[in-house]
A and B are shown apart, each in its own frame.
Chain A
């Protein structure tokens, strides 16, 4: 938990500010999970800070939430094409992907 908090600080996830008048702060909470090995042994304890985003109002607190995900047809097509061209393949997984993103873009919208 201290590690996750330290990474939030290192990441400059937030800055401390007084609450603007008439606004409410989003609540947040810690989620704790125990990761088990396939054998049933405890692998490690995991802590993640999540914001309770459900209290936010569309258009006021955020604008766009649409996100594309890949179609399985496209995945199959990628395999076919890579095969035809005899491509080298690799699979990867991005660690705590969400935390890499800035919340504001240059226009200040979220």
Chain B
């Protein structure tokens, strides 16, 4: 790649940049990122589901509590669910160490609005905010 405008190297103005890391705008950017995340998931013992490669799960049978964990990822937006709160924290902490993350509340995920009823076991998904956009 050419040297970025305004930051040309004074000693080597004719040199170019050999890209080692991903940059926005490349054809392969999205795939490279997905590969990186996939590697991370495997390190955490999360396996991709056969039904959808963006859903990872682990079923820790050895663990006395039989911890189940699911993770969904849409490019850079993810959800994690686990039967064990500590495990959930673990994953988020590790993600933050490796990639830097911002945590949101569970109210909104890739265009879906998520309403969790105070009554346990009830989740309501809707896309109410799209209605004004289309009418």
Contacts and interface: CB of A to CB of B under 8 A. Distances in A.
A70 B68 contact: no
Interface in B1-53: 1-7, 9, 12, 14-37, 49, 51-53
A88 B85 CA distance: 6
- Interface residues of A toward B: which range? 35 or more
A27 B4 CA distance: 8
B99 A97 contact: yes
Interface residues of B, number: 77
B70 A81 contact: yes
B61 to A, nearest CB: 14
Contacts of B16: 16-19, 25
A14 to B, nearest CB: 4
A75 B112 contact: yes
Nearest to A11: B21
A83 B22 contact: no
Nearest to A55: B27
Contacts of B23: 13, 28, 49-51, 98-99, 103
B19 to A, nearest CB: 5
A18 B120 contact: no
Interface string B97-135: 011111111101110101000001111010000000000
Residue of B5, B28, B101 ringed by the most chain A CB atoms within 10 A: B28
A21 interface: no
A63 B83 CA distance: 40
Interface of A: 1, 5, 8, 11-19, 25-30, 48-54, 56, 58, 61-79, 81-83, 85-105, 110
